[in-house]
Amino acid sequence: MKPLQNQNVIVVGGSRGVGRAIVEAALGAGATVLAVVRGAPDLKQLAWERPGLRTLSMDATAEAAPQAVFNALAPDVLVVCAGALAAAAPIQEQSWEVFSANWEMDVKASFLFCREALKGRLKPGARVLLIASGAAITGGPPNSGGYAGAKRMQIFLAGHCQKESDKLGLGLRFMALSPARIMPGTGVGDRGIDSIAAYMGIRPADFLASLSDMQTPDDVGRAVVDLATGKPQGSSFTVSGSGLAAAA
């Protein structure tokens, strides 16, 4: 029997990059999967490529989004992977809108879905995974705006929500998963590689060559399945080329 057989998995932000890898991992593990996608073109492409996949077009930062998503499929596992691209300019050249993009997207979506979960919309035993970033641990580069802080807030949010669930006796598990290294071939990764290399005054290829123990989107997908099916201790985890580990 596959590890997620007879389980419902929702991936918010599941059309491309890491989100798409999580969708594929959940499908491969036997789950019924609903991918929540913001753009209609992405949704159509996803539905065409994966006929057995359920899809829903929804802005994850809309106040009513969690209710609509949970009405479409009651999840055993909820993964919030929706996010904006990080800034790519020196702080003095950023507007507040640019600096706060990840707070208004990544954090807001995580907050709205976690808040709805704490209102009793999920069954006991359900698991909520927020996809953060290694930048939350390292601080990220100075030209990435509020990205690292936003991803750190997702880690805090998972911990806070776990305490609240325990207090209310909801029986939910809240976790944050931080891919440790930047990932080429994803929208966020490619933008970040170009931005960091430019900031350092080196070629993107040279920046990539300086990195080690890099994980792939598929590694992240496998880590999500492991967290969704195992008995991990704690609420914050990382995944690198070496595998899944509790965050220090």
Residue 48: predicted pLDDT: 87
What is the pTM for the complete model shown?
0.95
Alpha helices in the chain (DSSP H): 17-28, 40-49, 65-72, 96-99, 101-102, 108-116, 135-138, 147-168, 187-200, 204-209, 217-229
Domain assignment present for residue 154? The answer is yes
- Based on the structure, what is the number of domains in the chain? 1
Give the pLDDT confidence of 193-202 residue by residue, as tens digits: 999 998 999 9
80 CB-near residues (< 8 Å, 6+ apart): 12, 13, 60, 109, 110, 113, 114, 128, 129, 130, 131
Contact 82, 12 (CB under 8 A): yes
Residue 50: predicted pLDDT: 87
Residue 102 in tokens: 């990840």
Host domain of residue 72: 8-240
Residue 162: predicted pLDDT: 98
Domain assignment present for residue 123? The answer is yes
**Least confident piece of the model among 2-6, 14-18, 176-180:** 14-18
Residue 231 in tokens: 């008995």
CATH number of the domain within which 182 lies: 3.40.50.720
Q: What are φ and ψ of residue 96, in 5° steps?
A: -60, -35
SS3 176: strand
Above 80 in pLDDT, residue 248? Answer: no
Domain assignment present for residue 3? The answer is no
Mean pLDDT of the 119-130 span: 98
Report in angstroms the alpha-carbon separations of 153 from 103, 135, 149, 178, 188. 9, 11, 6, 12, 18
Residue 181: predicted pLDDT: 95
One-letter amino acid identity for 22?
I
Domain assignment present for residue 248? The answer is no
What's the rounded Cα separation, in Å, for the pair 49 and 137?
35
Residue 42: predicted pLDDT: 77
Above 80 in pLDDT, residue 99? Answer: yes
Residue 225: predicted pLDDT: 99
Domain assignment present for residue 24? The answer is yes
Contact 66, 114 (CB under 8 A): no
Give the pLDDT confidence of 22-67 residue by residue, as tens digits: 999 999 999 999 999 988 777 788 888 888 899 999 999 999 999 9
Question: Is residue 179 within a helix (H) or strand (E), and if so which, with residue range?
Answer: strand 173-179
Computed over every residue of the chain, the mean pLDDT equals 95
Residue 176: predicted pLDDT: 99
Domain assignment present for residue 151? The answer is yes
